[in-house]
Amino acid sequence: MTRSSKRPRRLEYMGAMAAGLAHEVKNPLSTMTVNLQLLAEDFATPQSQVEERTLRRAHLLLGEVKRLDGIVNDFLELARGYEIQPETVDLELLITDLLRFVEPENERLGIRARSLLAADARLVLADPKFLRVALNNLVVNAQQAMAEEGGELLLETRVRGRLVEVRVTDTGPGIPPDKLEQIFMPFWSNKQGGTGLGLPMTRRIVEELGGEILVQSELGRGTRFVLSVPKLPDQLPPATPDPTAEGPGAAERNGGNPA
């Protein structure tokens, strides 16, 4: 058996293991959620400082359980892979809508966002839902990098051969050279409270879309992620000839239109 033929089986095996692990973890998390909600209801109108503390702790634990449930879901998706359904995507509209969505958070953090979108890089072949998830992960990563001092966020598009690049650049502190190889590893994060799954998920999505993702960073100057996806072909492939058509007169027999 060749190495390439082993890979799908290994991924299938890992996906099955992830599903089993997720099932074992999510059941007790659901039980904890229900009981914490009941506890919060019991102390909804606290009559003492002790009851107030209990209510605060119940809400705190509910938040942590919700966060753990999100981590399990992200891990399960990462291990299983994604059901990609490619279609024509207007990259300009997607990026414009994404920047509008993150504008309130950018304003809160003191981040100035802008875009430079090439006209010939507008249409791509991708799954719009997953492409937005990937780009949103990169934007959130940039926001976290600039959270302390603010900065500038730039989204650019350009054509590179049969691919369209989306460049997400921030002016944050940059990534140390010895850490660049680790940022796409699951559960590795240098951010407080980070799950370390955002960038691995992004890379998995981009690869399944038929593209690639690269990172460039310079300490003190910022970081640029370059995400690429297939460009929409300028011309669709020719239609397959109709085997029932008989010679040049077939079009005329079909009302002047090719069969």
CB-CB contact of 197 with 205 (8 Å): no
Mean pLDDT of 133-158: 92
Give me the pLDDT at residue 102, please: 92
* pLDDT category of residue 85 using cuts at 50, 70 and 90: confident
Question: Residue 121: its pLDDT value, please?
Answer: 92
Report the pLDDT value the prediction gives residue 17, as an integer from 0 to 100. Answer: 62
Token pair listed for 9: 């089986």
Q: Convert the pLDDT of each residue in 216-233 to its tens digit.
A: 998 989 999 999 999 987
Per-residue confidence (pLDDT) for residue 116, from 0 to 100: 93
Question: CB 75: neighbour CB atoms within 10 A?
Answer: 20
Residue 236 has pLDDT above 50, yes or no: no
The DSSP line for 46-57 is: --SHHHHHHHHH
pLDDT tens digit string along 238-259? 344 444 333 333 333 333 433 3
Distance CA 176, CA 197 (A): 19
Contact call for residues 151 and 170 (beta carbons, < 8 A): yes
First and final C-alpha spacing in the chain? 45
Look-up of token digits 């659901």: 30
Total residues found in the chain within this entry: 259
pLDDT digits (tens, 9 = 90+) for 155-165: 999 999 999 99
Q: Are 175 and 223 in contact (CB under 8 A)?
A: yes
Q: Which residues contact 71 (CB under 8 A, 6 or more apart)?
A: 195, 197
In tens, the pLDDT along 195-205 reads 566 788 888 88
User: What 3-state DSSP class applies to 201?
Assistant: helix
Indicate left, alpha or beta for 110 from its phi (over 0: left) and psi (-120 to 50: alpha).
left
Tell me, what's the pLDDT at 152? 95
Q: What angle do CA 202, 116, 171 make, to 5 degrees?
A: 65
Strands 123-126, 163-170: pairing is unpaired
- pLDDT, position 250: 36
Secondary structure letter of residue 231 according to DSSP: B
More confident residue, 239 or 47: 47
pLDDT-derived band at 78, boundaries 50, 70, 90? low
